Structure 1
């Protein structure tokens, strides 16, 4: 078992005990977010730092109305 520490832009995201080490360019899903492994660094014999780049989340709740006359009442 390996201790895998996931980071995004120097921000700690998650720590997991896994049997396999994620490979570079592998797709991962962490906390409901899709991402891709950018870099893997071995710190100790069983400890690895994995750097992940997550997909950009588009906020669908904030819509800009183009015509103010068509707003809901």
Structure 2
């Protein structure tokens, strides 16, 4: 078992106790966001830091319905 710390831009996103350490280039899904492993560094024999690049969040704003107008 390995302790894996996931980082994005020096911000820790998640710590997990895992059976396997992810490899460079592997696709992951963390907190509902897709990402790719950029770097894996071993801190000691059980602890690893994994740097990710995650896809940017895009907020979907519903289009305004022209049939509904504010009543005054």
Q: What TM-score do the two structures reach when normalised by structure 2?
A: 0.85
SS at match of 2:48: strand
How many residue pairs match? The answer is 68
Sort the Cα spacing of 1:62 and 1:8 in 2 relative to 1 into closer, same or farther, 3 A. Answer: farther
Q: What TM-score do the two structures reach when normalised by structure 1?
A: 0.84
Sort the Cα spacing of 1:71 and 1:8 in 2 relative to 1 into closer, same or farther, 3 A. Answer: farther
| Unmatched 5+ stretches in structure 1 | none
Tell me the CA shift for residue 61 of structure 1: 1.6
| Unmatched 5+ stretches in structure 2 | none
Q: CA RMSD in A?
A: 1.6
Sort the Cα spacing of 1:39 and 1:62 in 2 relative to 1 into closer, same or farther, 3 A. Answer: farther
| 2:42 match | 42
Higher helix share: 1
Superposition map of 1:1-73 within 5 A:
1-61=1-61, 70=66, 72-73=68-69
